[in-house]
Structure 1
Amino acid sequence: MMFSIYQIILPWLAIILSITSLFLSSWIIIPAPNRLLQILGVGAPEVSPWLFILNIISLLTALLCIYQPQIQIITCIFSLIGLMLCGSVLVKIAPTQMQMSAAIQQELGENYLAQIPLQVSAKMQPQPFSLANSFRGIPLEKIRHKKDILFATPGGVPLKMEVYQPEEVGKYPALVVIYGGAWQSGNPHANYKFNQYLAARGYTVFAIDYRHAPKYQFPAQLDDVRTALNFIRQQAAEYEADPENMILLGRSSGAHLAMLAAYQPDAPPIRAVVSYYGPTNLTEGYNDPPQPDPLNTRAILTTFLGGSPQELPDEYKIASPINYVTRPLPPTLLIYGSRDHVVQAKFGRRMYETLHKAGATAVFLEIPWAEHAFDAVFNGVSNQLALYYTERFLAWALFSPKSE
């Protein structure tokens, strides 16, 4: 009797497993049509090693537990399709890493790594991608962490920051991190693993806050970032930060604010800027939205600026970082995903080309399978590659003679 129950249950479990694994894997290539499914579109390629294992288990389960030939063939086909989808990411890792390595060497010099002190490079990830880290996570070390540091109260709104410091007391470069969230949401605790990781590599990381749209529209967000930078410079000694070695890093709308703040004519000394999939030209972003457009980029921009480019052309121009690239600017690292359906990679490439024409040092890295916010999965495939080159770019910007 027990054996007959298993004969009934196990085939159904095998069928469900094969359908589930294929469904999850399909988002590696299917663009998400709405905000809810965007989570799957972002996450699927980043956990492709896990999905690859799941599809193998699904295939073996179908072969061993399904006794009806037609159903067995169908479920095996599902599993094989899932394996191919996951494999389409895994087989691209090595060539993508080679392309990224060539791109950064082209801009910073073939010997750029030799300019980084050994005590700094020794702390970095030894390889661009580790399959072991995909499963166990990227190792994090002990640091010091301070929360709820009030730095301003514009209009009575309390703005706070979090500070991540190396475990040992010292004086460290200041890395200012600005979160994303369509200028409408988010908080300084976002991407805390990234902040902890960089602090352990010898940075004082300041994760700052800013006011949100629609209640507070541009330029309130830029004003808040500039206020935070002034606060950090004034209080640098208290947090063991070097105000003359400051770098700005942001994600999405936070990357937009990082570029905008660093490129202002009266900006404080900034050693480098890192943009993870940041908007660069808001007018073009409105006029040429992605297809599909799961987050409704036009609605986001309208909320942020108070209208369309036709209604507010000057505001869109002032709020676009690309319009400030009229002179040499701090070295800039731009990282985008080819499958980004929020901020298309082509805008990042145009920013790179514009920076080059102005005489600035710029590096453009593109990840073929990555969606917007790919680094939300900290140990994901894309973030491992991005993190590997980000920490090298940061170290080069601080220690290279050419960057001074």
Structure 2
Amino acid sequence: MFTKPKILLSWLVLLLSFASLFLSSWIILPPPNMSLLTLAVGAPEVSPWLLLLNSLSLLLSFFCIRRRQLQRLACIFSLIGLLICAWVLVNIPPTQIQMAKAMKQGLGENYLEQIPAQVRAKMQTHPFNLVNFVGGIPLGKTRHQKDIIFATPAGVPLKMEVYQPSEVGKYPAVVVIYGGAWQYGNPHANSEFNQYIANHGYTVFAIDYRHAPKYQFPTQLDDVRTALNFIRKHAAAYEADPERMVVIGRSAGAHLAMLAAYQPDAPPIRAVVNYYGPVNLPGGYKTPPFPDPINTRAVLKAFMGGSLEELPNQYQIASPINYLTHPLPPTLLIYGSRDNLVEARFGKKMYERLHDSGNTAVFLQIPWAEHAFDAVFNGVSNQLALYHTERFLAWALFKQ
């Protein structure tokens, strides 16, 4: 007969197996709401840890469960979880091969040779590093300034944060625009990325903008353009080179980055980096994702001030894909295949339109990644994205 402690232990191991499978399942399941979106974003990024958790639960199932039926059930849970996690890890090498190929197709076979050796020496040497996954990506020492007011439109103070290399000098400027459905967020977002990039020889400006629904388009674009003009005017004070500037955005911030850089009267911008940003607002409104955890149409209505039927021209004006009538800065687009907020098909179409219009563009797609995958800075997807982003930045700003 089984004693009560052994029975309790068996059920605890079964619970662990189920919990491991539940967490792992969000690597492949589409999230129906914002709460589960968090799991869907994080699960693939920590898949090596989940692999270990499923392995542990499998071992415990063999040694700690004596009831045959419970043991079989726990093993099934653990094995399914293991297979899901292994799918991510097994796909890292082929994904990296495809991304490296896309970089060469977009920038040229020898694009890395155009980057000075001293710049290449500071880059990550591997697209995925298990040591960095466990211990974190080294950020290095930088100088950091906060709460710099660059404008006060309608009495609203707009602030920026500046990250600079530890040594005084003159560096290319990288302007970073945060996401948040145009409704929330602040310049301190993605601070690890900003510090990392600054440590690699750039002055990073993380800027703010007014939020919907109180302020609607084109207010956000106006604020970004104001920030770019401020940075150009005061570049010397922050040891930045105004003639070597790149704009990077995430999600809604990527939308604003592209719009600002693509304007016919935009200041000189060397390149744009778009992390999972909306590019075709009418298309996103007509065919929202399913499931739709963020309620895409409601977000667009709040941002634009009405529906597509009410404001068709405004939706067109607010779509970067409609600005391909003149030469544009080189553009790097990075999307996750499992993005349930901004589907990768829109990024792919944007890339095709850029390429067909004679503009330089690179499209990178990560098979297992959700929206905001880089929220886990040392996660699997962000390591791949960061590896190629820093090469794109160096090519755009340091190429000889």
TM-score by length of 1: 0.97
Q: What residue number does 2:167 align with?
A: 168
Aligned to 1:155: 154
Shift of 1:6: 4.1
**Deviates most, 375-384 or 349-358:** 349-358
User: Residue 218 of structure 1 aligns with which residue?
Assistant: 217
Q: 1:309 deviation in Å? A: 1.4
Summarize the alignment of residues 238-387 of structure 1 with structure 2, pairs less than 5 Å apart. Answer: 238-387=237-386
* Residues 124 and 388, structure 1, Cα contact 8 Å, conserved in 2: yes
RMSD: 1.0
Specify the SS of the correspondent of 1:60.
helix
Report how far residue 7 of structure 1 moved: 2.0
Partners of 1:329 and 1:119 in 2: CA distance? 29
Preserved CA contact (<8 Å) 2:264 2:326: no
Alpha-carbon distance in 2 for matches of 1:203, 1:399: 11
Structure 1 position 70, deviation (Å): 1.1
Q: In structure 1, what is the Cα distance between the partners aligned to 2:384 and 2:394?
A: 16
Q: Deviations over 1:354-384 (max 9, x none)?
A: 1112211000000111111110110111100
Name the SS of the counterpart of 1:300 in structure 2. Answer: helix
Distance, in Å, in 2 between the alignment partners of 1:352 and 1:23 is 35
1:315-348 deviation digits (Å, cap 9, x = unpaired): 0011001111112210000000111111111110
Q: What SS does the aligned partner of 1:223 have?
A: helix
Structure 2 Cα separation of the partners of residues 374 and 347 of structure 1: 17
Unmatched segments (≥5 aa) in structure 1? none
The answer to whether the 8 Å contact 2:203/2:239 transfers is: yes
> In the TM superposition, what is the alpha-carbon distance from 1:5 to its structure 2 partner?
5.8
Structure 2 distance, partners of 1:141, 1:120, is 15
Q: In 2, Cα distance between the equivalents of 1:329 and 1:72?
A: 60
Alpha-carbon separation, structure 1, partners of 2:101 and 2:183: 37
Give the corresponding residue for 1:236: 235
**1:250–1:256: 8 Å Cα contact kept in structure 2?**
yes
**1:307 shift after superposition:** 1.0
Q: Deviations over 1:270-318 (max 9, x none)?
A: 0000000010010111001111111011110000001111110110011
Q: Which range moved further: 10-19 or 141-150?
A: 10-19
What secondary structure is seen at the aligned counterpart in 2 of 1:330? coil
Matched residues, number: 399
- SS at structure 2 position matched to 1:181: coil
For 1:229 and 1:103, the matched residues in 2 are separated by 29
Amino acid in the other structure paired with 1:323 = N
Q: Distance in 2 between matches of 1:17 and 1:142?
A: 40
Q: Give 5+ residue unaligned stretches, structure 2.
A: none
Tell me how far apart the structure 1 counterparts of residues 399 and 197 of structure 2 sit (CA, whole Å). Answer: 19
Please list every run of at least 4 consecutive aligned residues from structure 1 whose deviation after the TM superposition is greater than 3 angstroms.
3-6
In structure 1, what is the equivalent of residue 187 of structure 2?
188
For the 8 Å contact 1:174–1:241, the answer to whether it is kept is: yes
| Residue of structure 2 in register with 1:26 after alignment | 25
Aligned partners of 2:145 and 2:162 also within 8 Å? yes
1:140 corresponds to: 139
For residue 148 of structure 1, give the secondary structure of its aligned residue in structure 2. strand
Task: Report the secondary structure of 2:109's partner residue.
Answer: coil
Shift of 1:4: 5.0
3-state SS of 1:294 partner: coil
**Cα separation, 1, equivalents of 2:12 and 2:70:** 12
User: How far apart, in 1, do the equivalents of 2:73 and 2:389 lie?
Assistant: 44
**Residues in 2 aligned to 1:168 and 1:13: alpha-carbon distance in whole angstroms:** 54
Same amino acid, percent of matched pairs: 72
1:8 positional shift:
3.6
Paired with 2:362 and 2:326, the residues of 1 have a C-alpha distance of 17
Q: Secondary structure at the match of 2:147?
A: strand
Distance in 1, matches of 2:6 and 2:277, equals 53
Cα offset, 1:168, TM superposition: 0.6
Do the aligned partners of 1:179 and 1:253 also contact (CA within 8 Å) in 2? Answer: yes
Q: Distance in 2 between matches of 1:9 and 1:151?
A: 61
What's the counterpart of residue 45 of structure 1?
Answer: 44
Shift of 1:132: 1.9
Partner of 1:388 in structure 2? 387
Q: Is the Cα contact below 8 Å between 1:327 and 1:360 reproduced in 2?
A: no
